[in-house]
Structure 1
Amino acid sequence: MILTAATTDLFAFDEARLDELATSHPGPFFAYDLAAARERFDRLRAALPARVRLAYAVKSNPGLPLLEAFAGRGAWFDCASAGEVSAALAAGGTGAGMVFAGPAKTERDLQAALFAGARVQVDGIEDIARLHALHTGETPLAVNVRVNPAGGVSEVASIIGGVGPSAFGVDEEVLEAFVTEAARFERVEIRGLQVFSASNELDAGRLLANHRTALRIGRRLQELLGRELDLVDLGGGLGIRYALTEPNLDVRAVGAGLGRILGENDWFTGELLLEPGRWLSGPTGVYAARVVRTKVSRGERFVMLEGGINHLLRPLLTGQSFPTLAVRPGEGVVDGERATTTLAGPLCTSLDRVGTGDLPVDLRPGDVVMFGQTGAYAYTQAMSHFLSHALPEQHWVC
């Protein structure tokens, strides 16, 4: 793949900077463009109605420089562990702009969320009961309830939400019984809703259909509670493309659609919350690994790299490759005849495949394969300690 106007959005840096990075850093590394992160946040913020808050999903990339870049722009933070709470606070985030989620929250997690002042998203009556025991304030602790929709959800891949049986949330069918039971715990008060029903969605229409489902559930929850909701958390799901054949998500269409949804639901006077992670962080990063050797086995072309699923696990989990190109240090992006290539890592398992790429046939040891869109669900999602290889470096470019 050669960088053109059609492909530059798949890689965080231009050809000259990619060559500079490949030349100056000998080992496997990630590099992130913080200016691109700030630009993406500003672009998304400008596309959305004023009543929509943005909570960056820390799980997508918890790097401190990235969190600081978003905190400096007034971002909220979506956290899912005590460690993520600490990271968000260290970056300048505050509990007043933080939500805390997870299907199996430990005592330490809940204590961290309470200490920070975060809005906890409860997944069951057990969360309510433990918060009731931990909360010592004079006024009831406001929480959101996560609801697992019974239907009306459109999604491409069920990674974090969807319909059907789920480890997450309270099933919509038993919401009334849940509200009744939760009312017994007077030190905890349900004031909001979370519905997270899609991941990496590229179609604005499908996202908005799911958001309408969330508002439908919100209206019923408000009626069951007999008090107004102050927050409806629509979750994440804003997608990025990993291939030229995929479209870019139209965030202006998402913003316009959310404006219409708010207009259609005048019963709701609170704020909406979006939890973008991948959309904000994914396009800011590249991963680079040098070619160790190449081979052809029974007609299949392989390129063996210094790094594999110990650095990039996503292709194995999802079956979808990151976009790739090759750089010859000091010469730039490698051009010429290309062929479909299986990219394998150094681990002693046939599972160590980091996708395929349309790469030059004359790659040689020392060339560098660059993976685009790796600013999210890459460095911290990988099997980092498997076989005790060194961790890849991380470089933050202002």
Structure 2
Amino acid sequence: MERIKARIDEHLQRDGARPFCAFLYDLKQLKEHVSRTIALLPPRCRYFYAIKANSDAALLRALAPIVHGFEVASLGEVRKVRAVTETSPILFGGPGKTDEEIAGAIHHRVSLLHVESLNELRRVERIAASHGTVMELLLRVNLRGPLPVGTLQMAGRPTQFGMDEADVPAAILQAQASPHLRLRGFHFHSLSNNLEVEEHLGMVEHYARRVRQWSEEFHLAVDCVNMGGGIGVNYGDLQAQFDMSAFAAKLPARLEPLPSERVSVLFECGRYSVASCGYYAAEVLDVREIRGKTFAVIAGGLHHFLLPGAWKHSHPVALLPVERWAYPFERPECVNRPVTIVGKMDSPKDILAQDVMLPRVRVGDVLAFPYAGAYGWVISAHDFSSLPHPEHLYLE
């Protein structure tokens, strides 16, 4: 946080004419965190960054030399990756790919296409044939379970993600019969934001056993299994995060059911990769008390940082005092009382944190929200009410 505070102070001294509002990304912390994670994983594992969590070009450039590749969910995201690196492997998923996206995957040399239905498989085969090429793919399967429960659930129950287990035999046979398809294995991404190590290990083992069953039943030479992301971030207690060391140490035993030691295991982590490197910070515009409840209004809100509203949680926040005060009248403040932090949107839902105890909050101070690197700006309503956009600042 000291590096973030210093960067904000520097910015305020240089450009203090308008209220401060910015996303700040600590690229040094990002690279160290992801490098540590990769070093912990067993040698057969490959770590991909799922860019839907944050597709900022500076973050992609920072990660390109470290990760084994990128996972995308649209042709637009393919192009963002290729604008940064021409060589990094790309995994392309998503429940509704158009013909243009499938052709774009071929054009941009996507490494693996995640195919999610028999209809999509037939279209991929047709388009690959028209380009005179062979498309390498994984079948994304919506497993029936048993699976752990995450904040968001993509498998273990009926959802739009992946093909039903009942369709897997037909998909395998169709891929094996086509000269324009090369089926390399399977893709599973069942949940989001899981914090329980043992549950995640159990899910991984379940994946491995199902892959072995299909491999033996259909004499399928599996060389690659994508076991998804879904590793979570604890926004309620920033000191109690997913124990990656414990997970990685126990992972080899849970991968033993796979058909061969030569099968590569892919993980595609978005939130876990970038959440901790990002901060959303905004200046306090007003402090007011209404019917005994204190509100601090900031020069930003959910139109920039939607995550607290989307997940309906009170986001952690830190106070960064600013001593500058340019007005001739008394500076409004809140001392040792719970304060609810709200944005400047013309909406009663624009609440980022509820009843936070801070020793002193004054108009002109800056409030910083840590763990804002994932699913912040990229999922927000940028142009709501034509409000100004935040700045994007980077710490090397």
Q: TM-score, normalised by structure 2?
A: 0.89
Cα distance change, pair 372–169 in 1 and its aligned pair in 2 (3 A): same
CA–CA separation in structure 2 for the residues paired with 1:234 and 1:338: 47
CA–CA separation in structure 2 for the residues paired with 1:190 and 1:41: 29
CA–CA separation in structure 2 for the residues paired with 1:22 and 1:221: 60
Partner of 2:150: 156
* SS in structure 2 at match of 1:110: helix
Question: 1:87-115 deviations in whole A, cap 9, x for unaligned?
Answer: 111222536x2100000112222122111
Which AA in structure 1 matches 2:183?
I
Indicate whether 1:108 and 2:100 are aligned. Answer: yes
Structure 2 regions of 5+ residues with no counterpart?
325-332
Instruction: Give 2:283's match in structure 1, choosing from 279, 285, 290.
Output: 290
| Matched-pair identity in % | 28
Q: Does the 8 A contact of 2:48 with 2:67 survive in 1?
A: no
Question: 1:52-86 deviations in whole A, cap 9, x for unaligned?
Answer: 00110111111111111111224310011111111
CA–CA separation in structure 2 for the residues paired with 1:195 and 1:31: 33
Moved more, 147-156 or 13-22: 13-22
Question: 1:292-332 deviations in whole A, cap 9, x for unaligned?
Answer: 1122333332211111111011111111232101212258x
Cα distance change, pair 301–78 in 1 and its aligned pair in 2 (3 A): same
Q: Which is higher, the Rg of structure 1 or of structure 2?
A: 2
- Write the mapping of 1:4-153 to structure 2, written as runs, cut at 5 A: 11=1, 13=3, 15-21=5-11, 24=14, 26-92=19-85, 94=87, 97-118=89-110, 119-136=112-129, 140-153=134-147
Cα distance change, pair 14–308 in 1 and its aligned pair in 2 (3 A): closer
Structure 1 regions of 5+ residues with no counterpart?
1-10
CA–CA separation in structure 1 for the residues paired with 2:317 and 2:24: 15
Q: Does the 8 A contact of 1:22 with 1:327 survive in 2?
A: no
1:189, distance to aligned residue in structure 2 (A): 3.1
Partner of 1:7: none
Q: Does the 8 A contact of 2:44 with 2:262 survive in 1?
A: no
Cα distance change, pair 215–307 in 1 and its aligned pair in 2 (3 A): same
CA–CA separation in structure 1 for the residues paired with 2:44 and 2:355: 42
Cα distance change, pair 197–23 in 1 and its aligned pair in 2 (3 A): farther
Cα distance change, pair 176–338 in 1 and its aligned pair in 2 (3 A): farther
Partner of 1:274: 267
CA–CA separation in structure 2 for the residues paired with 1:357 and 1:108: 48
Indicate whether 1:179 and 2:177 are aligned. Answer: no
* SS in structure 2 at match of 1:258: helix
Cα distance change, pair 339–219 in 1 and its aligned pair in 2 (3 A): farther
Partner of 2:374: 376
Instruction: Give 1:199's match in structure 2, choosing from 174, 187, 192.
Output: 192
1:340, distance to aligned residue in structure 2 (A): 3.2
Indicate whether 1:309 and 2:302 are aligned. Answer: yes
* SS in structure 2 at match of 1:135: helix
Cα distance change, pair 34–218 in 1 and its aligned pair in 2 (3 A): same
Cα distance change, pair 315–74 in 1 and its aligned pair in 2 (3 A): closer
Indicate whether 1:188 and 2:181 are aligned. Answer: yes
* SS in structure 2 at match of 1:283: helix
Question: 1:102-142 deviations in whole A, cap 9, x for unaligned?
Answer: 00112222122111221100110122111112114666422
Q: Does the 8 A contact of 2:143 with 2:156 survive in 1?
A: yes
* SS in structure 2 at match of 1:174: helix
CA–CA separation in structure 2 for the residues paired with 1:147 and 1:192: 11
CA–CA separation in structure 2 for the residues paired with 1:21 and 1:198: 39
Q: Does the 8 A contact of 2:215 with 2:259 survive in 1?
A: no
CA–CA separation in structure 1 for the residues paired with 2:187 and 2:355: 38
